Amino acid sequence: MKILNRCFTAILFLSVFIAIVSSCKKDESPDYQYFVSSEFTATYNTDYINNLLNLASSIYPELNDLKPFVSHAVDIYKVIYQTEVDDETINASGLICIPSGSGEYPVLCFQNGTNTLNKEAPSENAQNPGYQFVEVIAATGYVVIIPDYPGFGESADIAHPYLIKDPTVRSIVDMLFAAREFDTGELPDLELKNEFYIIGYSQGGWATLSLHEALEQDYSGDFNLKGSVCGAGPYNLNLLLQGMTSISTYPMPVYIGYIINAYSAYDQFTNPVSDILKEPYASRLGNLYNGILTSGQINDQLTTSIPDLFTDDFLSGFGSDIKYASVRKSLTDNSITAWNTQVPLLFVHGAGDTSVNPITTENIYSAMIQAGTSTDICKKEIIPDLDHGDATIPAMIKGLLFIMNLQ
């Protein structure tokens, strides 16, 4: 009987122990620093991807150059991760696009251009044709990362820090860290190579060059940057605003308002908006960049006439008046100073760009070479005739082929 009782006690103890251990394992989750959660969004099989490229290549024949590289289906996830904006921890979001099947793949991070609609952020509308073109790059053997930027997706309740360097770069770097944690903890059959390529256009071109500098100079021990492509970015923001204010009409006042709204929201400018813009535009500005209005709708609420948009005092004093010192300083702080990069870099711009003057690309390329960068490392291509929007796809295709040739 004693032996029976001992056996029963031992079995009971063992059962309780196993239950406790099993319970711990069920509740156990990796200790993530950046990654918060993921949501499966879609799968594109190779037939769908090839049909998409066939359809688009009738408009952009350059896409035919990508077809031979398509070898995988693509799984798309919305990923939420933590970052910091203005010293506050927030949840941000973006897309991660994975080649199907097990394997080890390099990473391509895409920075999108100017967007004012939250419903058109990458993680909010992965089926947007522009984003689909980027997503299907994963079919060629890359893990593709597309950040939303702060102010969109999961962080739509805060102002978007448009063309403000620190929160932009921080949010992208933190998504790269989150992608590693997502891979390690959630995708056991996938491995991210320590090979990172970055590409972007317009605002994304500026963000990509800012990110290139940060990855090379501040995060080289974390990420092995192998190449970058920067398309039509406003790399010198003082030059950008000088160009905007030196002409009588500017076709996209949405860009002007976006800068002023963001720089005011994040205390980059100490001047009130009424020092810079005339009425009714000064009072109207704060209600325009709410994630609900399109660029066209915002353009309609502003004016293409520079003398009617800006105050006379700002137009005459922006360049030198101490009253506008914070404007000049903040634009300088968020511009990109050339340096001697050791990582392959391609600049692309449309020669007919009326939104971001191609002189910005000519200047930054020349400055990079003067800073010591080899012409074997840094390349430049100006696409004849094309305006800002029309050059987007051709510039990005040239950029992708540049990146593929680096491998």
Which SS3 state, helix, strand or coil, does residue 83 take?
strand
Same domain membership, residue 212 and residue 113: yes
Same domain membership, residue 242 and residue 222: no
Domain CATH for 284: 1.10.260
* Interatomic CA distance for residues 170 and 173, integer angstroms: 5
Which token pair is 248?
Answer: 């009588």
Q: Kindly state the helix (H) or strand (E) to which residue 26 belongs, with its residue range.
A: helix 2-27
| CA-to-CA separations, 384 to 118, 229, 349, 358, 390, in angstroms, rounded | 33, 18, 9, 11, 11
Same domain membership, residue 147 and residue 60: yes
**Per-residue pLDDT at 395:** 96
Same domain membership, residue 318 and residue 249: yes
Which token pair is 267?
Answer: 């205390």
* Interatomic CA distance for residues 400 and 311, integer angstroms: 43
Domain count, the chain: 2
Alpha-helical (H) ranges within 218-324 are: 237-245, 253-265, 273-276, 281-284, 295-301, 306-309, 312-317
* Interatomic CA distance for residues 108 and 398, integer angstroms: 15
Tell me the per-residue pLDDT of 258-285, one tens digit each, with 9 for 90 and over. Answer: 999 999 999 999 999 999 999 999 999 9
| CA-to-CA separations, 10 to 3, 20, 23, in angstroms, rounded | 10, 15, 20
Same domain membership, residue 154 and residue 97: yes
Residue-range definition of the domain harbouring residue 281? 237-333
Query: Which of 333, 357, 392 represents a domain boundary (last residue)?
Result: 333
Same domain membership, residue 44 and residue 150: yes
What mean pLDDT, rounded, does the chain reach?
A: 93
Query: Which of 311, 333, 355 represents a domain boundary (last residue)?
Result: 333
Same domain membership, residue 113 and residue 55: yes
Q: Is residue 328 part of a domain?
A: yes
**Per-residue pLDDT at 65:** 86
pLDDT band at 10 (very low <50, low <70, confident <90, very high): very low
pLDDT band at 228 (very low <50, low <70, confident <90, very high): very high
Q: Kindly state the helix (H) or strand (E) to which residue 397 belongs, with its residue range.
A: helix 392-404
Q: Is residue 22 part of a domain?
A: no
Same domain membership, residue 232 and residue 267: no
pLDDT band at 135 (very low <50, low <70, confident <90, very high): very high
Same domain membership, residue 378 and residue 275: no
Query: Which of 313, 333, 353 represents a domain boundary (last residue)?
Result: 333
Percent of the chain exceeding pLDDT 70 equals 93
Q: Is residue 15 part of a domain?
A: no
Q: Is residue 2 part of a domain?
A: no
pLDDT band at 29 (very low <50, low <70, confident <90, very high): low
Burial class (CB in 10 A: 0-12, 13-18, 19+), 389: middle
Same domain membership, residue 315 and residue 343: no
Same domain membership, residue 223 and residue 197: yes
pLDDT at 213 over 90: yes
Percent of the chain exceeding pLDDT 90 equals 88
* Residue 144, strand partner residues: 97, 108
Among 12-26, 175-189, 232-246, 375-389, the minimum mean pLDDT is found in 12-26
Same domain membership, residue 244 and residue 219: no
Q: Tell me what the mean pLDDT of segment 224-246 comes to.
A: 97
Domain CATH for 39: 3.40.50.1820
